[in-house]
């Protein structure tokens, strides 16, 4: 979501952004629409991309105290939860791949809330074009 809120900076860095999901198309599109995510959605139903980037699954990391606190706080604020889509134990990550196919940044998530700061992504982009 941070990337979504700073889309102008990413466009200025001449980047393309994709969301990769392993779930069913209907579920993934519902999630994309519910969160108003404007980026193209790519499906990886066999998790080939997840495997290639070394992204794992973990019940303990997916349901740790930090994650449970986050969702509990959302419920207390009256925010809508979108329900579990697909495998709730699959961990994601953030990756930057250069136009030449070189991996500029690899950041597998330790838990569902573990995302790099947008500033770190933008710094990695700046270093690659320097």
- Tell me if the pTM is above 0.75: yes
| Spans of all domains in the chain | 2-129
pLDDT in tens, the chain (130 residues): 567 677 778 778 778 888 888 878 888 888 788 778 888 889 998 899 999 999 989 999 999 999 999 989 999 999 887 777 778 898 989 898 888 888 888 999 999 899 888 888 888 888 887 6
Pairing of strands 103-108, 19-21: unpaired
Task: Check if the beta carbon of residue 80 is closer than 8 Å to that of residue 51.
Answer: no
Exposed (0-12), middle (13-18) or buried (19+): which is 118, by Cβ within 10 Å? middle
The CATH number given to 2-129 is 3.40.30.10
């Amino acid at each position: 979501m941070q990337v979504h809120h700073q889309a102008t900076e990413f466009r200025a860095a001449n980047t393309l952004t994709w969301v990769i999901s392993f779930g069913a198309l209907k579920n993934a599109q519902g999630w994309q629409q519910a969160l108003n995510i404007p980026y193209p959605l790519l499906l990886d139903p066999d998790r080939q991309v997840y495997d290639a980037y070394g992204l794992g699954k973990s019940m303990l990391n997916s349901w740790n105290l930090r994650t449970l606190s986050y969702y509990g706080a959302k419920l207390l604020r009256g925010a809508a939860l979108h329900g579990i889509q697909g495998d709730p134990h699959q961990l994601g990550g953030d990756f930057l791949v250069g136009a030449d196919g070189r991996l500029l940044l690899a950041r597998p998530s330790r838990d569902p809330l573990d995302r790099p700061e947008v500033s770190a992504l933008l710094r990695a982009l700046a270093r690659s074009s320097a």
